[in-house]
Every structure is written in structure tokens, then in C-alpha cells.
Structure 1
Amino acid sequence: MKVKVIGFWGAYPEAEGATSSYLLEEDGYSLLVDCGSGALSRLQKDIEVTDLDALILSHYHHDHVADIGSLQYASLVQSYLREDTPVLPIYGHQANLDYFYTLTHKRTQGLPYDPDEVLNIGPFTITFLQTQHPVPCYAMRITNGHYTIVYTADTSYFDALIDFSKHADLLIAECSFYEGMDGSGPGHMTSDECGKLAQAAGVKQLWLTHLPHFGNIEQLKIEAGKYYSGRIDIAQEALTFHA
């Protein structure tokens, strides 16, 4: 399994960057998790649009779905250029049907996932946990049968995240605020909460992502490191986990 950061900013991308998006690859299968602003441009540094096998969305806030429309146009254009281009499946929840229906376009097909059920996409098995966020949002636990990653998506801290993240090989945790701040209102976590979660869950590695646009980003790692004894990386484009 390979996991690569495509986008990592919260809210909006800084220059030459992208918001939330992560590419998972296993045995030639490519799954994109979220598709935020700038993600499509950065994704094409790694794979062609036509090589993307599926996309899954945690929720429908703009910084996680902004490039869906461009991806739909890209899929359409490529279908004119290559006759063998398959329809791209886009998995999303149905708690917001108005947005879910927009996932289906001429060369994309919106497919619902039930967060109470296990979902199989290619070589990946995915389970879900509804997070604490102003809109319906789902954390994902993704495994290939040998290695497991957990993506918190957007959420404030709550205890159920510990069991959900238990013994993951990689925890991709949103880290929108610094230690001592309160992210519970907007539904986001702080650096110290990320560290405490990683330690309590016994994960092997921690990525801090969904980064803020203020303060010294490196401080997030220092603060999380007070509470977590494992490896911590601050998300950046092309940061890669190999298993």
C-alpha cells in the first residue's frame, strides 16, 4: 500500500498548494480520498486522470470537494480522446442528497456508501465513523488486509476516535489549531489532541494535516510530540507512506 499527500491545507490552498486530498495505491489500483481545491492539478503529477479508479468523499465542504467539477470535465474530455475510458465512480454519503446527486455527470457515477456498513473498493476495505463537525462527515479506516490507515477527515476530538484508530499503521489527523486553542465550535482538532489521540490509539505513525494558515506550522509537530512518542510528520505535498 502507498499513501501520498496531494493536498493538505484547511479551508483554502496557499500558493501552489491544494486542500484535502490523498492518493492510495495498491496493486495498480488508485483511490483518491477527497478532492479539494487544487487537487486535480497536483494529482496529475502522479497519475493521469484516466488512471484514477475511484474517488471517495468524507463530506461535502468545499475544501474537500472543490475540484469535483473539474474532475468531471476532465473525465468527459478524456472520454472523447480515448474510447476505452471508463466511467469514474465517486462514492459519497447520502445525508445531503442535493450534493450527492451532483456527483453523477456524463462520465462520473455517484455511488452511495452506508456509513454503518463495510465498503469494499478495489483492494481496499473501508469502515466509517461519523465525526463531530457542523455537517455530516465520516472518518475512514482503510485496510488492504495487511496494513491500515485511519483518516479522521474533519472533526473535533471525541473519545470514539481512539477505538476507531486503534493500532493503525498510519493516522492522518486533521490539525487545524494549536495547543491551548478550542476547535470544538467549528469541529476541528488541536495539535495536542492529535498527539493524545495517536498515543491512546497506539498508532505507528502520525500525519498532521488540514493545516492552519496562521502561526508556525512546525510548532504543531512540537506540540503533538509532547503527547505522542511515535513518528510525526507535518503533511506536505508528495509526503508518502509505503507499506
Structure 2
Amino acid sequence: MRLTVLGARGGFPEAGDACSGFLVEHDGFRLVLDAGYATFPRLLAHCAAADVDAALITHGHPDHCVDLNPLLRARSLTDDPAPALPIYAPPGALDAVLALDRPGMLHYALHPVGDGDRLRIGPFTVDIAGLPHFVPNNGVRIAAGGAALAYQGDSGPAPALARLAEAADLLIAEATYPEAVPADSAGRLSSALDAGAAATTAGSGRLLLTHLWPGLPATRALGAARSAYAGPVEMAVGGQVWEP
């Protein structure tokens, strides 16, 4: 299994950056995991739009899903359209982004998924856990070839995240803030300190921090995560590749 970071900024991208998005590959199958602002051009550096086999979207906030639109347009608005793209997401989460174009213009097959579901997407076994956010959010565990990664999407701290990431080779955890989450977002977003605690509880092999708010220093977030987790910790950056 191979993971490529397309973007990892929370909220909105800074110059030359992109929001949440990853490309997960195994045995020639390509799965897009979230598709936030500015991730589509970065995806094209790795494969053509028509070569994407499926998309898995954690929730409906635009910094995680808005670049589904150019991906679907690139697949659909050609002389030889690609087959309908299977898309897995919480029920109703993608209504807004999929409504940007006229009905029938984009070719996709939408599959609503939620807490407790187990899916087979190509070579991947995918387990879903609902995690607390401002909108329905699916944390995911993706396994193939004897390796497993867990991805939080966005959420507050929750025991379900540690269960999802139990003994995973990699935990991709939200770290919108380094240490403390503001009161108006408490329970719905996490800090790097929370991410480190989750990785420790889960016994994850490696921690990759994502979704840091624009303007906040990565060094501070890394320090906070390392204070709660003794394993390897990195900040996700575009172009970064992980293989177990």
C-alpha cells in the first residue's frame, strides 16, 4: 500500500498549498481519500483523472470535498468519458458539491456509508467509524497487503478513533491547533496533543499530523504531539509518500 499526500492544510489553502487530500494505491488501484481545495491539480501529477478508480470522502466541508467537482468534470467532459466514479461518503454530505453542475452532466455512483460499515473498495478493506464534528464525519481504516492506515477526517477526540487506529501502521490525525482547541470548537476539532494521545492509546506505528490551521507553526504542533506519543511523528506536506 502506498499513500501520497496531495494536501494537508485545514480550512483554506495558503499560497502554493492545498487542503486535505490523499491518494492511496495498491495493486494498481487508485483511491482518492478526501479532495479538498487545490488537490486536483496535484493529483494530476500522479495520474490522469480517468485513472482514479474510486473516491472516499470523510465529510462535506469544502476543504475535504470541493475538488471532486474538477475531478468529475475532467472524467466526464471528454469525447471518451470515463466510467461512473464510485464515491463513498456520509449520507447527504456531497449534495452541495455534486449540485454545482446540471443533473446528469457528471458521471458518478454515490454510495452512502456510515458508522459501523465495512466496505470492499477494490483491494482495500475499509472500516468506518462516525466521529464527532460539526457535520457527519466518517473516520476510516484502510487495509490491504497486510498493512493498515487510519484517517480521522476532522473530529473531536473520541474513543472510537483509537479503536479505528488500533495497531495501525499509520494514523493520519487532525491537528487543527497545537495544544488547545478554542471553546467554540471543543469536542468537534482536535489538537496535535489530542492526536498524540490517540496514537498512544491505539498503539499506532507512526503518526502523521494533518489539517493544521493556516498561519500556525508546524514546529509547535510537532512538539505537542511528541509530548504525548513516543513513536515517529511527522507533519503531512504535499508530495510526501508513505509505504509500510
Q: Distance in 1 between matches of 2:173 and 2:137?
A: 14
Structure 2 equivalent of residue 189 of structure 1: 190
Aligned partners of 2:37 and 2:94: how far apart in 1? 22
Letter in 2 for 1:93: P
Q: Secondary structure at the match of 2:77?
A: helix
Distance 1:23 1:101 in 2: 21
Equivalent residue number for residue 88 of structure 1? 85
The CA distance in 1 between the partners of 2:61 and 2:187, in whole Å, is: 12
1:97 to partner: Cα distance: 7.6
Q: CA deviation at 1:238?
A: 1.1
Aligned to 1:44: 44
TM-superposed CA distance for 1:191, in Å, is 1.3
Matched residue SS, 1:23: strand
Q: Which residue of 2 aligns with 1:241?
A: 242
* Aligned residue runs from structure 1 range 1-243, under 5 A: 1-78=1-78, 80=79, 82=80, 85-96=82-93, 98-99=95-96, 102=99, 105-182=105-182, 184-185=185-186, 187-243=188-244
Q: Is the 8 A contact 1:72 1:105 kept in 2?
A: no
* Contact 1:75–1:108 (Cα < 8 Å) also in 2: no
CA distance in 2, matches of 1:141, 1:189: 18
Q: Distance in 1 between matches of 2:13 and 2:94?
A: 27
- C-alpha distance 142-105 of structure 1, shift in aligned 2 (>3 A): farther
Query: Which SS does the other structure have where 1:208 is aligned?
Result: strand
Quick check: 2:193–2:224 contact (8 Å CA) kept in 1? yes
Kept in 1, the 8 Å contact 2:114–2:130? The answer is no
How far apart in 1 are the matches of 2:97 and 2:44?
25
Shift in Å, 1:106: 3.1
Alignment-mate amino acid for residue 122 of structure 2 = G
Deviations 1:191-233 (A, max 9, x none): 1111111111110000000111133212111111011111111
Give, in whole Å, the separation in 1 of the partners of 2:114 and 2:133: 18
**Residue 73 of structure 1, CA deviation:** 1.2
Structure 2 stretches of 5 or more lacking a match?
none
**Secondary structure of residue in 2 paired with 1:34:** strand
- Do the aligned partners of 1:94 and 1:100 also contact (CA within 8 Å) in 2? no
Q: 2:132–2:188: 8 Å Cα contact kept in structure 1?
A: yes
1:100-128 deviation digits (Å, cap 9, x = unpaired): 86497532222222433211100001111
- How far apart are residue 93 of structure 1 and its match? 1.9
Structure 1 residue matching 2:154: 3-state secondary structure: coil
Q: How many residues align?
A: 240
Q: Are 2:179 and 2:192, in contact at CA under 8 Å, matched by a contact in 1?
A: yes
Is contact 1:153-1:173 (8 Å) kept? yes
Q: Is the 8 A contact 2:131 2:160 kept in 1?
A: no
Corresponding letter in the other structure for 1:239: Q
Are residues 34 and 105 of structure 1, via their aligned partners in 2, closer, same or farther at CA, if it must alter by over 3 Å? farther
Q: Which amino acid aligns with 2:201?
A: A
Using the alignment, how far apart are the partners of 1:101 and 1:154 within structure 2?
21
* CA distance in structure 2 between the aligned counterparts of 1:221 and 1:117, rounded to whole angstroms: 32
Measured in 2, the distance between the counterparts of 1:195 and 1:144 equals 24
